[in-house]
Structure 1
């Protein structure tokens, strides 16, 4: 049975690039392969975004980092650093550049503390997004050493998307979403919608302070 859509309309301001736009997020359990998050604790809306605290189980898959090294997703995300994660693909011309621009600004706003954080962008188009293409994409947004981009097999990518309840079956159907976690074993803060750099920075400080 199709559920009622929840539509969130939010304005996004991308500082540092002089870009402004308005994003719309419409999500429904019927639009996902797995339905609503069964482990969602609570949610609330803030400035055109929706926040949820969720326990996700990471799949035991291998991804390929933008430096060409094959790595374990679990090991990469459980290295002890707080994680800020999103999903992108390099040929996207709408959502992904805006999300990546937000991450670029966030890097700057983290200041000297940026090396204590792991920024993660995972491709939802692994057939096209080779490590070399991801490196070129990362360079467009001045990704520092704390910000890695990942690809891999189609199966690994889908398993990762399903684990975070973002798999939509077709890359063109993806929506803007970011995930933050203070440390391994802690719940994830999920932010659906176009979060601004300031909102992500505030959320990062909140999850670290509460851990």
Structure 2
């Protein structure tokens, strides 16, 4: 049975309700500090300089991040994930899966990108399995690479937190190469992202 966003969010809320010291006589949940409840979305427009790094796509091809984001001129929707994450990443990835469905025949007009923040574990093969799990179509690609390339990319988009367990839910949207990015901090829904994507299309 597929896990829904509501059930994931409920689990997240339940986990967040426990204090870090509440594990009497037991081992702490290693993902506890991975749970960040951000009830309100924070939107900001930001200019980011893309790093000159090479990443590895889930199909095993080495690619330039700059070329992947700029060459075809499509709007980009960018997220950062890792495949063993049990809280934030499943929600983000399920949201993008739903967004694909809502875009329908327009889905090939946008480039969705998910970049791993755990490249040592997230091989292209693992990313292929992860992409399949969420029904990623050809417009939604997943990337890994060297640790240095991953960190450089995270720093460039101001999402690097030093430890994968400390990452926050962030989604970034850009209308076209050279344009500013819309940064959304928090758990944006598929409807939120579709609405923001429409605004980008209209040049708002």
- TM-score, normalised via structure 1 length: 0.80
Q: Work out which of the residue numbers 86, 96, 101 in structure 2 matches 1:108.
A: 101
How many angstroms apart in 2 are the aligned matches of 1:140 and 1:17? Answer: 14
Gaps in structure 2 of 5+ consecutive residues: 14-38
Partner-residue secondary structure (3-state), 1:104: helix
* 2:172 counterpart residue number: 179
Matched, 1:158 2:146: no
- Would you tell me which structure has more helix in proportion to its own residues? 2
Greater Cα radius of gyration, structure 1 or 2: 2
How many angstroms apart in 2 are the aligned matches of 1:162 and 1:156? Answer: 10
Partner-residue secondary structure (3-state), 1:19: helix
* 1:21 counterpart residue number: 9
Matched, 1:59 2:51: yes
RMSD over aligned CA atoms reads 2.0
Correspondence 1:1-211 to 2 at 5 A: 19=7, 21=9, 48-78=40-70, 79-210=72-203
- Would you tell me which structure has more strand in proportion to its own residues? 1
How many angstroms apart in 1 are the aligned matches of 2:147 and 2:8? Answer: 33
Deviation at 1:21?
1.7
Does the 8 Å CA contact 2:5/2:91 hold for their aligned counterparts?
A: no
* 1:38 counterpart residue number: none
Number of matched pairs? 177
Does the 8 Å CA contact 1:16/1:105 hold for their aligned counterparts?
A: no
Partner-residue secondary structure (3-state), 2:188: coil
Does the 8 Å CA contact 2:59/2:124 hold for their aligned counterparts?
A: yes
How many angstroms apart in 1 are the aligned matches of 2:148 and 2:4? Answer: 36
Gaps in structure 1 of 5+ consecutive residues: 1-14, 25-46
Partner-residue secondary structure (3-state), 2:102: helix
Partner-residue secondary structure (3-state), 1:21: helix
